[in-house]
Chains A and B, each alone.
Chain A
Amino acid sequence: METDTLTIEPAEPMTRDDLKADRPTWCPGCGDFSVLAMYQKFLVDRQYPQEKIATLSGIGCSSRFPYFINTHSVHFIHGRIIPFATALSLTRPELFPFVIIGDGDAFSIGGNHLTHAARKNVNLNVIILNNQVYGLTKKQTSPTSPLGFRSKTDPWGSRMTPVNPARQIIGAGATFFARASAANPKHLIQMYERMSAHEGFSVLEVLSECVQFFKGSFDGASSGKGGDFVEIGPDHDVTDEGAAFALAEKPFPGVFGVFHEVRRTTLNEMEQENIRAVAPAELQRPTVDKLKDSFNRLT
């Protein structure tokens, strides 16, 4: 079905300027700036064809990404970008789709989709910008807000156990999970590389501070602010799910790096298998002839 009509042009490398779009409207100091800058740098490093990159998001501060990056982009509805991106990944395998969502999209309104995409092992990169608060709507409790967090919906402090992203996503069956921080761009870009190199459902959680409504939330992971950014050591076996869960249990701010990476048949491969099971000659036959076969059986 694919008819690529692109003409071959002298390849000029894509630059960060090519990828710049509107000036981000995030609050000054927001962690998302760094995530965006490193996303652009990563895309430039990889030199994906610009027209084949798709930046896909849901709703929230972080989901404003599409307006600030000059790629084919989608600003979808709250919670549902993962099934949207699943379809794009299945039907247009030559593209490079990146899903960028917040903790509300990922773990609250879209939680069902995240767990099922992990289970099905959709070939997709999902970057979750976790700021542990609803920022766009001005400080309500998010599913990752820590115990005791005072918000406008929990003025007495949150009493609900927060989601543990690593445990939840690995538990759901994701074949890649890594953790990074907006405050450590050098490490972040390494994680982009690792995530994009993985075939299968890849989730990268990025701690990205909301300076307006949860200032200082991630100081504990920032060496510049008296904290400690602890990277996962080389002894960690990323294929050992038990070891990954053990890392996930480390108290906040936890550890950073690749928790888990295994190879399992992707949904894309399974669906392609269904098409490949059709004889090549049959696939090539015109639609009208195949439909006639079906209709002839119904006479």
Chain B
Amino acid sequence: MSNPSSISNSVIRIAGNSQDGIQSVGTMLARMAGRIDMDVMTYMTIPSTISGGPSIFQVHMGTATVLTPGDLADVLVAFYQHSYENHIESLRDGGVLIYDDTHVDPDLDALRQRRITPVAVPMTALTVETVGGTGTQKGKNIFLLGLLTRVYRLDYDKVAALVKEQFRGKDESVVRNNLLALEAGYAYQIGDVGSFFTFDIKPESGETNVTMTGNQALAYGAIAGGIRFGAGYPITPWTEVMEILRRELPRYGGTFIQTEDELAAIAAAIGGAYGGTPSLTGSSGPGISLKTEALGFAVMSELPLVIIDVQRGGPSTGLPTNVEQSDLSIALNGSHGDAPRVVLAAANVEDCFYIMIEAAQIARRFSVPVIVLSDQALATRLEAFPYPNLDSLVEEPSLNLATRESHKPYPLDAPTHHAPPGTKVVDGRYPTITGLEHDEYGNPSGSAQMHTRMTHRRSDKLRRLAAELPPPEVYGAKDARTLLVGWGSTCGVIRSVVDQSITSGEPLAALHLRNLNPLPPSLAEIFAKYDNVLVVELNEGGVNGCGQLGRLLRAETCQPQIRGITKSDGGSFRVSEVLERVRGILESTRRPATL
């Protein structure tokens, strides 16, 4: 065995029940990683039952770049027998199994064959002993945090500070008990396991990281982008965004309301936008379906609006707590008629923050609805990223009610800049905002010529925006013959695939799309340079094997070498899985044709 005493990255999977507090211990671990300038990405499963149940939290942290939550774990922590049984296959050969020997009875022979080091820790018993709880499971997660602090030789004082912050505002005895549990975990003697995992701690750069989930980043991005009104209806996994905005917006003089349904939510957001307040609604797939009629009104009436779609598995109620990228089609096309809207997709948690600022800006500049696509994986994933330069990013919204001499809401020779109600129009002709096809003043017009010109005027926004977009950058090997194309939360996985391919003899390149409508320029020219363009996405491949983006790119670029790598199993791609699929496709295309 090579000497693994110094490692750059490690994947820890904590498996237990949702009420064991594994989410909070995972979150603290991730936050700790962010504080010591490590990369980190997490992954969690939420039981779909209401009262909790088996749940995992996986943390991939390291001093090298972390692009995915990790394929296989280096360390598996199993609280219960079912945790052990369901997740032992997710532990790599040669890894470490830490288990609570009160509840878990592992198959030691099987572990030996896979060179797995079992570490029995009486977590329940020791926690109860330390904290003095009577039958309570409380503190077990913090005991584990102490144990992991020891295993990974993390800075104990910094971890203790995190625990204190976690329980800030709670009773002093709660803080004391948790610190005791932390200390007990840290003091527990686990033999030489610690030597497997000592991180190369790189000198701290002095730069601060923030650690948050995609949903948090979306919400704070909205505030940074100047959004001051919003409306929504609870639906997993979007709900957290609206909860944060509901709580936070009043501090900024704004309001977020919970409406009676999804239809009301978008109608209210459009009403807020009409009033001149930067406004937002959001949902997940089923709610987005309901919103599409009103979305068409926002297009027709040319009101600025941001719509967040935190995607989950579909169709219909689908898989509420799983990830899928199957709402691209509805984001691009949902609503009747020609209804051009802008569609952006966040690549990672950090991007969730920046993309909201960009979405709000585009909505305002072009007076157009902008859909921001996130997904369940991003929604719940923690990532650490550099503290944004808020001073240069934050938009302070202002309401412009300056008197206008005259006002046409839909001038044929200029872009729309609405005069919100309260704006005095000196020539005395006030605007009508309407979903009917209309003339420059908003009066109904059934004229063929007017419909043609107004339709063109609305789609021209996408042409103007497209003209501003830089051609996308290609990542990876210059001499690659195969290009992987992705969008949304699979960005990191695809980059990892490219990184791993460099040493494999078949170097790959990747292109990530953030702007999905309009698409950036030069795609056809870029694709034409490759023998294979493989579009990797979490949705159904349909008749020709191409997923929703793959079909779009085929139609838009007419490049026949576009093929799809898709899946619909409710999980994110693993790096190994994509590599295997790529190899499979490349082999099949190389095979000589037989008659």
Residues of chain A touching chain B, judged by Cβ–Cβ distance below 8 Å, are 1-7, 18, 22, 49-54, 66-67, 70-77, 79-88, 90-92, 94-95, 97, 112-113, 116, 271, 274-275, 277-278, 282-283, 286-288, 290-292, 294-295, 298-299
Contact = CB atoms under 8 A, between A and B. Distances in A.
Given A6-B401, A75-B436, A91 B394 contact: no
A245 B115 CA distance: 79
A88 B279 CA distance: 11
Contacts of A290: 251-252
Given A7-B403, A70-B430, A85-B271, A112 B261 contact: yes
A4 B422 CA distance: 9
Contacts of B210: 295, 298-299
B329 to A, nearest CB: 22
A22 B430 CA distance: 12
Contacts of B132: none
Contacts of A54: 421
Given A3-B398, A291-B220, A291-B394, A83 B268 contact: yes
A87 B402 contact: no
Contacts of B268: 83-84, 86-87
Interface in B217-265: 220, 223-224, 226, 228-229, 231, 248, 250-255, 257, 259-261, 263-265
Contact of A298 (B212, B390, B395, B422): B212
Contacts of B31: 298-299
B250 A286 contact: no
6 contacts: A76-B270, A91-B275, A271-B250, A287-B394, A291-B394, A298-B211
B428 interface: yes
A288 B395 CA distance: 8
A298 B209 CA distance: 9
A287 B394 CA distance: 7
Contact of B275 (A77, A88, A275, A292): A88
B429 interface: yes
Contacts of A84: 267-268, 270-271, 274
Contacts of A277: 250
Contacts of A271: 250, 255, 257
Contacts of B471: none
Given A70-B428, A112-B261, A299-B211, 20 more contacts: A3-B398, A70-B429, A70-B430, A72-B431, A73-B430, A74-B433, A76-B297, A76-B435, A79-B263, A81-B267, A83-B267, A87-B268, A92-B276, A92-B277, A95-B422, A275-B253, A283-B253, A290-B251, A291-B390, A295-B387
B264 A6 contact: no
Contact of A66 (B229, B274, B432): B432
Given A84-B274, A295-B210, A1 B220 contact: no
B224 A291 contact: yes
A87 B399 contact: no
Contacts of A6: 401, 403, 424
Contacts of A76: 267, 270, 297, 435
B425 interface: yes
Interface of B: 31, 34-35, 208-212, 216, 220, 223-224, 226, 228-229, 231, 248, 250-255, 257, 259-261, 263-265, 267-272, 274-277, 279, 293-294, 297, 301, 387-388, 390-391, 394-403, 419-425, 428-436, 442-444
Nearest to B35: A299
A87 B229 contact: yes
B264 A116 contact: yes
Given A87-B229, A91-B277, A288-B394, A75 B399 contact: no
A194 B411 CA distance: 39
Nearest to B391: A288
Contact of A87 (B269, B294, B434): B269
Contact of A51 (B250, B271, B421, B444): B421
A4 B402 CA distance: 7
Contacts of B424: 6, 49-51
Given A22-B443, A70-B429, A275-B250, A287 B224 contact: yes
Given A3-B400, A291-B223, A299-B208, A92 B421 contact: yes
A189 B265 CA distance: 33
A5 B391 contact: no
Contact of A80 (B264, B396, B401, B442): B264
**Which of B224, B231, B420, B421 lies at the interface centre, i.e. has the most chain A CB atoms within 10 A of its CB?**
B421
A88 B401 contact: no
A70 B333 CA distance: 35
A83 to B, nearest CB: 4
A195 to B, nearest CB: 20
A50 B252 CA distance: 30
Contacts of A95: 275, 421-422
A81 to B, nearest CB: 7
Contact of B228 (A1, A70, A292): A1
B297 A83 contact: no
Nearest to B392: A288
